[in-house]
A and B are shown apart, each in its own frame.
Chain A
């Protein structure tokens, strides 16, 4: 049981480039989400999904797209990278969106945009 996996671990992009951060979970969780973590700030929600085919915006969605074609995978796409998107990105999953269920986080992707 691998839990939540993310690839790549590190990535450097030039301004304007696009890329996809991968996230997968093997716990059959319905709820998945993407966060970014910046120094001195709490994690901020980018996008989330309550099940395959259903996605919604979080607190800071601009510049990012998501899709959820399967229960297991929830990729995050950066359309045109900007230096402001330099951050550490975490994917998380939970059995349900219900507040009392535990969220499991992946190991993170550290992204630098130059």
Chain B
């Protein structure tokens, strides 16, 4: 069964600290993996898209890694800011008819001052 599991479910960190969010997937056949940021009351906004051949991709203070062999991805946030408080969603695309997207439940990050 195609699944995306994220950990932890929620996380609280102090402003300025780094953190890493995890994503494990069983989606097959794999096409790409995306990380989205969803602010409270808003729609998801894309941070990165990674294909099979990409190991690392950065977007400012956000760095995503992908290990296609172990089917794991991580999102590292450097020098966190209060505005990083949001839900972070991992989404894996399956190369099947209809190009199915499988969404994780998200990790809720709260950055405290």
Give the B-binding residues of A (Cβ under 8 A): 4, 40-45, 48, 56, 90, 92, 97-100, 102-103, 105-108
Report the Cα distance A46→B78, complex, angstroms: 36
**Cβ-defined partner of A42 (8 Å) among B42, B89, B99:** B89
Pairwise interchain contact B89-A105, C-beta atoms closer than 8 A: no
Pairwise interchain contact B103-A43, C-beta atoms closer than 8 A: yes
Give the chain B neighbours of A40 by CB distance below 8 A.
105
Pairwise interchain contact A99-B32, C-beta atoms closer than 8 A: yes
Given contacts A99-B93, A100-B32, is CB(A42)–CB(B46) below 8 Å?
Answer: no
Known pairs A42-B104, A42-B105; list 17 more (Cβ under 8 Å): A40-B105, A42-B89, A42-B103, A43-B103, A44-B103, A45-B101, A90-B43, A90-B44, A97-B99, A98-B99, A99-B93, A99-B95, A99-B99, A102-B46, A103-B46, A105-B43, A108-B43
Pairwise interchain contact B95-A42, C-beta atoms closer than 8 A: no
Pairwise interchain contact A106-B49, C-beta atoms closer than 8 A: no
Interface of B is mostly: strand
Give the chain A neighbours of B45 by CB distance below 8 A.
105
Pairwise interchain contact A4-B43, C-beta atoms closer than 8 A: yes
- For chain B, the count of residues having a C-beta within 8 Å of the partner chain is 24
Pairwise interchain contact A41-B105, C-beta atoms closer than 8 A: yes
**Cβ-defined partner of B49 (8 Å) among A4, A41, A42, A100:** A100
Give the chain A neighbours of B103 by CB distance below 8 A.
42-44
| B97 CB to nearest chain A CB (Å) | 10
Contact with A along B21-61 (1 / 0, CB 8 A): 00000000001100000000111111001010000000000
- Which of B32, B46, B98, B104 counts the most chain A CB atoms within 10 A? B98
Given contacts A4-B43, A42-B89, A107-B43, is CB(A102)–CB(B105) below 8 Å?
Answer: no
Given contacts A56-B98, A98-B99, A99-B93, is CB(A42)–CB(B106) below 8 Å?
Answer: yes
Q: Which residue of A lies closest to B42 (CB)?
A: A107
| B23 CB to nearest chain A CB (Å) | 11
